[in-house]
Amino acid sequence: MSENSAVFKIGELAKKVGSTVETLRFYETKGLLQSHSRSAAGYRLYNDSHLTQLSFILQAKKVGFSLKEIKYLLGLNLAKEAHTCEEVKTYTGEKIAEIDAKIRDLQSIRGSLHQMYEACCGGTEKATHCSILHTLAASDLSTELGARQ
Amino acid sequence: MSENSAVFKIGELAKKVGSTVETLRFYETKGLLQSHSRSAAGYRLYNDSHLTQLSFILQAKKVGFSLKEIKYLLGLNLAKEAHTCEEVKTYTGEKIAEIDAKIRDLQSIRGSLHQMYEACCGGTEKATHCSILHTLAASDLSTELGARQ
DNA sequence: ATTGACCCTAAAGTAAGCTATAGGGTTTAT
DNA sequence: ATAAACCCTATAGCTTACTTTAGGGTCAAT
């Protein structure tokens, strides 16, 4: 029932994901997003699966994966014959551990910022005596923020 | 009682935080970490407050703050007269919101990777039919990962 | 049939965040 | 007193991830 066979050009795809035409072409040179069909005029043509893949790329990028890592993740999917289940499981396991570490770090720094935020009056006076700045200057920041170093 | 007045040279400071001498000097050129005293020979001298500040820098970097943003955060602390409480509170509030968004994104992609991880047998055979790859290929990835785009 | 909004390639340029090189002084241990 | 292990400045080079420029076709509407 649903119209899932839509074909779109690069500008439309870029718009759909809030990216730019240039960036998508750049991703193509990096092997991240290949358009396998072209119009008569040589225009790149994309479909919903490209949209899916591009969304994955952008989401992964947003959380700190490099284009190289993303390519590898996508490559696991594309070159199935070249990878064992063991390899796939090991790699994703590592990535999960990295993500967990990153979440912990974010929560730690969030705690510090929140503490600063809550302690500040927020008024229009000069921040000379503002507790938010005292918090930032306090040495427990090094304990809290630098401990996992 | 505790020995808190230690003074160290750049190599020691770098070692303490697991960074390099070159990086610390680079941060100095960027205005992130200034050593205000030098030895007779012109060697940079640091103390515990530098260590605190450097730990903050590295932690913030680790969670995705740019050096420019970190400089601003540190600047709030250093140039107190130039900022109002309101400004400080607004800025930290924004940063907290960014961190929250990032944590949500990380948890979303973590969920997908974990689902893949759990679904894979992990054996030594070729991954041609491995469910982990099917998961990656599945279109619900775009729903789950691209929805907040 | 021409104008404006698209599309193409190839290549150069940019910004962030380091990293390395060159050339030279200093400190410390033997 | 000399060699290894440090420190200094200045500058060039590198990687990542785009962005811009130049020069040119295509398509849809007027």
- In tens, the pLDDT along B128-149 reads 666 554 555 443 343 433 333 3
Percent of chain B at pLDDT exceeding 90: 34
B77 close to A (CB below 8 A): yes
Q: Whose structure tokens read 């309101």?
A: B86
Q: Name the closest residue on chain B to residue A55, using Cα atoms.
A: B146
DSSP alpha helix (H) spans, B32-84: 48-62, 67-78
Contact residues on chain B for A114, CB-CB shorter than 8 A: 96
**Residue B99 is nearest to which of A49, A62, A109, comparing CB atoms?**
A109
Query: Where is mean pLDDT largest: A43-47, A107-111, B132-136?
Result: A43-47
State the pLDDT at residue A72.
85
List chain A residues with CB under 8 Å of B95: 113
Q: Mean pLDDT, chain B, as a whole number?
A: 79
Residues shown for chain B? 149
Q: How far is A23 from chain B (nearest CA, A)?
A: 16
Structural domains in chain B, sorted by start:
8-83 (1.10.1660.10), 97-148 (no CATH)
pLDDT in tens, A69-87: 999 888 776 566 677 788 8
Whether residue B89 is predicted with pLDDT greater than 90 in this model: the reply is: no
Q: What's the predicted TM-score (pTM) here?
A: 0.77
Q: CA of A109: how far to CAs of A145, B77, B91, B108, in Å?
A: 7, 16, 14, 20
User: Which of B102, B106, B109 lies closest to B142, judged by CA?
Assistant: B109
Nearest-neighbour CA in chain B from A34: distance (Å): 15
pLDDT of the residue at A141: 40
Interface with A, mutate which of B15, B62, B71 (most A CBs under 10 A): B62
Chain B residues with CB under 8 Å of A18 CB are 149
The reported pLDDT for the residue numbered B145 is 39
Q: Would you report the helix, strand and coil content of chain B in percent, each value rounded to 5?
A: 65, 5, 30
Structure tokens at A37: 């069909």
Give the per-residue pLDDT at A131: 56
CA distance to A34, A62, A76, A121, B61, per residue, from B133 (Å): 19, 22, 7, 52, 33
> Can you tell me the distance from the alpha carbon of A144 to that of B6, in angstroms, rounded to the nearest whole number?
21
Q: Is the pLDDT of residue A42 over 90?
A: yes
Average pLDDT over residues B32-43: 94
